[in-house]
Copies of this chain bind each other. A is one copy, B any other.
Amino acid sequence: MTRIDDVARLAGVSTATVSRALRGLPTVSDGTRQRVLEAAARLGYTASPSASRLAGGKTRSVAVVVPRITRWFFSTVVEAAEEALHHAGYDLLLYNLGGRERTRQRLLHTTNLHKRVDALMLVATPLQAADVAMIGKLALPGITVSSGTDVPGWPSIRIDDVAAARTATGHLLALGHRRIAHICGDGADELAVSTHLDRRRGYLAALADAGVPADPRLNVEAEFTIGGGERAMTELLRREPPPTAVFAASDEMAMGAMAALRQAGLRVPQDVSVIGIDDHDLAGVVGLSTVAQPAAEQGRLAALALLRPLRDGTGHHDGADPVILPTRLVVRESTAPPPGS
């Protein structure tokens, strides 16, 4: 295990100079830097992260917290963030809450986190007041991605969930639907954050704009999963009269709804139209109409925003307004005018 002393000896300089040269600090002459770089290369030397971290006080690591890495939105955000983080020389510690309430508490309440990472990226992570207070005490820079809990002083990246839901519902209205159901994210689902509230708000606003009265019996809560969408749709088919169209709060829920419809012997879109939000990789495969959101872009921008204060040394953000990325209606084959129109 070659250490900094070995490089110093070979280059004929002090360890301090090796340290400076290797990190690209400006206060090293060109000739010296050359010799140090050559010596380091010859010995295959890289500084020990543990030692650098202890001495330097920076971990060059970022914690990324997601509800479930297996869902389309979260894995896409993480993939984009990972690339930006590693490109900048930062390690990415992954925390997958996995629906386990205990994990979240352990994560945020551990006094450990602030000795372990330089910054925190919370993706759709539900926070209670106590959590937010705890995060404040960590005194770490951070960013939140996706609607939901805000942390005072942290920037956030997201879409406009109300507008996206409005677009989806508006599309169904424009096709002539009047009995439009909504499969809403479950507030009891700790992974849902407040996204589901915003999307329901958009749904209700679109109905109101069109002068269509909202039927509360067409509003069903479900988990943000395929199974959740499936169960919700089964439930909705018991309503009298049943809806002619369904707006699901995510593509995964929408696909679950499509599965339930097929099992019930109903055709999409001839009998029932379905639309979601996301533009999941598989939306094209099942012909699902949706409102696309840029997941990778949210992950990339979040990582870059997080890195900025770390690199310029201020260590904190300038408290900018939330960045709102655009969404876009994608019409495929799951939406059509209502039967008999």
Which residues of A are in contact with B by a Cβ distance under 8 Å?
1, 44-46, 48-51, 53-54, 59, 64, 68-70, 72, 75-76, 78-79, 82-83, 86, 91-96, 98, 100, 103, 110-112, 115-116, 226, 255-256, 258-259, 262, 281-282, 284-287
Min Cβ gap A15→B in Å is 16
Q: Are B115 and A282 in contact (CB under 8 A)?
A: no
Given contacts A54-B54, A70-B75, A70-B79, contact A285 B49 (CB under 8 A): no
- How distant is the Cα of A78 from the Cα of B66 in the complex, in angstroms? 13
- 16 residue pairs A–B, Cβ–Cβ below 8 Å: A46-B112, A46-B115, A48-B115, A49-B116, A50-B53, A50-B115, A53-B53, A69-B69, A82-B94, A82-B95, A83-B100, A86-B95, A255-B282, A259-B285, A282-B286, A286-B286
Cross-chain contact of A69 among B79, B115, B226 (Cβ < 8 A):
B79
Q: Are B83 and A98 in contact (CB under 8 A)?
A: yes
Which chain B residue lies CB-closest to A109?
Answer: B44
Cross-chain contact of A44 among B72, B82, B98, B111 (Cβ < 8 A):
B111
Cross-chain contact of A54 among B48, B70, B75, B79 (Cβ < 8 A):
B48
Q: Are B83 and A78 in contact (CB under 8 A)?
A: no
Min Cβ gap A115→B in Å is 5
Copies of the polypeptide in the assembly: 2
Residues of B within 8 A of A262 (CB): 287
Residues of B within 8 A of A48 (CB): 54, 115
Cross-chain contact of A94 among B46, B51, B78, B286 (Cβ < 8 A):
B78
Cross-chain contact of A76 among B45, B70, B86, B110 (Cβ < 8 A):
B70
Which chain B residue lies CB-closest to A103?
Answer: B86
Which chain B residue lies CB-closest to A68?
Answer: B79
A94-B94, A259-B284 given; name 15 further pairs at CB < 8 Å. A46-B111, A46-B112, A48-B54, A49-B116, A50-B54, A69-B75, A69-B78, A69-B82, A79-B96, A82-B95, A86-B95, A92-B93, A259-B285, A282-B282, A285-B286
Residues of B within 8 A of A282 (CB): 226, 255, 282, 286
Of the candidates A69, A111, A259, A285, the one having the most CB atoms from chain B within 10 angstroms of its own CB is A285
Q: Are A110 and B46 in contact (CB under 8 A)?
A: yes
Q: Are B98 and A79 in contact (CB under 8 A)?
A: yes
Q: Are B96 and A83 in contact (CB under 8 A)?
A: yes
Which chain B residue lies CB-closest to A71?
Answer: B75
Residues of B within 8 A of A115 (CB): 1, 46, 48-50
- How distant is the Cα of A6 from the Cα of B277 in the complex, in angstroms? 52
Q: Are A285 and B69 in contact (CB under 8 A)?
A: no
- How distant is the Cα of A220 from the Cα of B168 in the complex, in angstroms? 38
Given contacts A54-B50, A284-B259, contact A91 B116 (CB under 8 A): yes
